[in-house]
């Protein structure tokens, strides 16, 4: 099936893009890399009358780090650029790893991290590690900007918290806390380039031998990526011993809400949540103690 007919506009500023989106409403769709959008259009899942391309907006290609603000990944920063960026690899290795494991080389050289987020797939590789870091999205509109925690951005599969005229300008990731470690783990049922059947990210902050903070993020096991809050509660304020990690991993599997589909059964997914959560917490602990 070929692509349906559509108009294409290429604004040169964020403000211009937002004004177009406000005017056209649901008739328009934003295109960054296009690796998700064009496939959905080809299969008839989306039929926008206008595509608003962001390629001419130079500020959206930026990847930058400031010690007091953290990491900024612009909406047009490619997956491959994030995966290979020296600062990302050094300070946010789980974010770089997740980007490097997304789909194929060809897609990583076309697709963007923000596009992967906005596609709002529960199995998206780049969301769990960013959520574990407490990332925020910077959302532009004709009237200015607002910020929203990444974990509050998703309303359901393919559904996000964006109003008419708004677009995601980029993602802002706080500076890594002292004594912290973040790990991303995933498993795909059929091949390394298949969509993750289960993915987990864990962040721990260890201070004076105890877990000052912890986040456990589960992907592909609920309608949206979710925090395993009860599992986190088992670890917060305590020593991060192997036995505690095992209990938290088992609790995380109980907080998952998996389904059975072509990639995995719900039972398999629940089991893998426990396995991957344990791996993520062990690796995050090792990184935190070494930092």
The per-residue pLDDT for range 206-248, each reduced to its tens digit, is: 999 999 999 999 999 999 999 999 999 999 999 999 999 999 9
Q: Which residues contact 255 (CB under 8 A, 6 or more apart)?
A: 218, 226, 228, 229, 230, 231
Question: Across the chain, which distance is largest between two alpha carbons, in Å?
Answer: 61
Question: Residue 248 gets which letter from DSSP?
Answer: H
Point out which residues pair with 141 in neighbouring strands. Answer: 144
Looking at per-residue pLDDT, the higher value among 286 and 42 belongs to 286
Point out which residues pair with 149 in neighbouring strands. Answer: 136
Q: Extract the runs of DSSP E, i.e. beta strands, from 157-268.
A: 159-160, 167-173, 180-187, 198-207, 210-219, 226-227
Domains of the chain: 7-52 (3.30.43.10), 68-173 (3.30.465.10), 180-290 (3.30.390.50)
Q: Which residues contact 242 (CB under 8 A, 6 or more apart)?
A: 282
- The alpha carbon of residue 116 and the mean position of all alpha carbons in its chain are separated, in whole angstroms, by 7
Q: Can you give the pLDDT at residue 2?
A: 81
Point out which residues pair with 227 in neighbouring strands. Answer: 217
CA Rg value for the chain = 19
Q: Can you give the pLDDT at residue 189?
A: 66
The per-residue pLDDT for range 137-164, each reduced to its tens digit, is: 999 999 999 999 999 999 999 999 999 9
Q: Reply yes or no on whether the pLDDT at 193 is more than 90.
A: no
Contact (CB, 8 A) for 175 and 88: no
Q: Can you give the pLDDT at residue 194?
A: 74
Sheet containing strand 198-207, edge to edge, reads: 180-187, 198-207, 210-219, 226-227
Q: Can you give the pLDDT at residue 190?
A: 58
Beta strands at 167-173 and 70-74: parallel, antiparallel or unpaired: antiparallel
Distances 188 to 20, 35, 101, 102 between C-alpha atoms, Å: 39, 20, 11, 11
Contact (CB, 8 A) for 240 and 180: no
Packed helices 266-290 and 242-255: angle between N→C axes, nearest 10 degrees: 140
- Average predicted confidence (pLDDT) for the chain: 96
Q: Which residues contact 41 (CB under 8 A, 6 or more apart)?
A: 3, 4, 6, 47, 48
38: helix, coil or strand?
Answer: helix
Picking from 261, 249, 181, the residue whose alpha carbon sits closest to that of residue 214 is 181
Q: Can you give the pLDDT at residue 188?
A: 87
The per-residue pLDDT for range 85-124, each reduced to its tens digit, is: 999 999 999 999 999 999 999 999 999 999 999 999 999 9
195 pLDDT band, cuts 50/70/90, is: confident
Lookup result for tokens 């995966």: 83
């Amino acid at each position: 099936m070929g692509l349906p007919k559509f108009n294409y506009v290429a604004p040169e500023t964020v403000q211009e893009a937002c004004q177009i989106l406000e005017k056209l409403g649901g008739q328009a769709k934003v295109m960054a890399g296009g690796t998700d959008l064009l496939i959905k259009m080809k299969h008839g899942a989306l039929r926008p009358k206008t595509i608003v391309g962001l390629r001419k907006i130079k500020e959206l290609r930026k990847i930058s780090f400031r010690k007091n603000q953290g990491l900024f990944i612009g909406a047009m920063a490619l997956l491959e650029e994030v995966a290979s960026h020296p600062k990302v690899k050094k300070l946010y290795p789980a974010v770089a790893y997740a980007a490097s494991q997304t789909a194929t080389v060809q897609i990583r050289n076309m697709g963007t991290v923000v596009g992967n987020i906005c596609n709002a797939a529960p199995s998206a590789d780049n969301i769990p590690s960013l959520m574990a870091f407490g990332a925020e999205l910077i959302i532009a509109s004709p009237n200015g900007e607002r910020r929203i925690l990444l974990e509050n951005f998703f309303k359901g599969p393919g559904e996000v918290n964006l109003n008419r005229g708004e677009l995601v300008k980029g993602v802002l990731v706080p500076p890594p806390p002292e004594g912290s470690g973040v790990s991303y783990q995933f498993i795909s049922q059929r091949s390394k380039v298949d969509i993750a059947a289960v993915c987990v990210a864990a962040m721990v902050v260890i201070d004076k031998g105890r877990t000052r903070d912890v986040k456990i993020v589960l992907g592909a096991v609920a309608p949206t990526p979710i925090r395993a809050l009860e599992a986190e509660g088992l670890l917060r304020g305590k020593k991060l011993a192997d036995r505690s990690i095992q209990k938290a991993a088992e609790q995380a599997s109980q907080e998952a809400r998996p389904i059975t589909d072509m990639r995995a059964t719900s039972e398999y997914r629940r089991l893998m949540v426990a396995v991957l959560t344990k791996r993520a917490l062990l690796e995050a602990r090792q990184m935190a103690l070494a930092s």
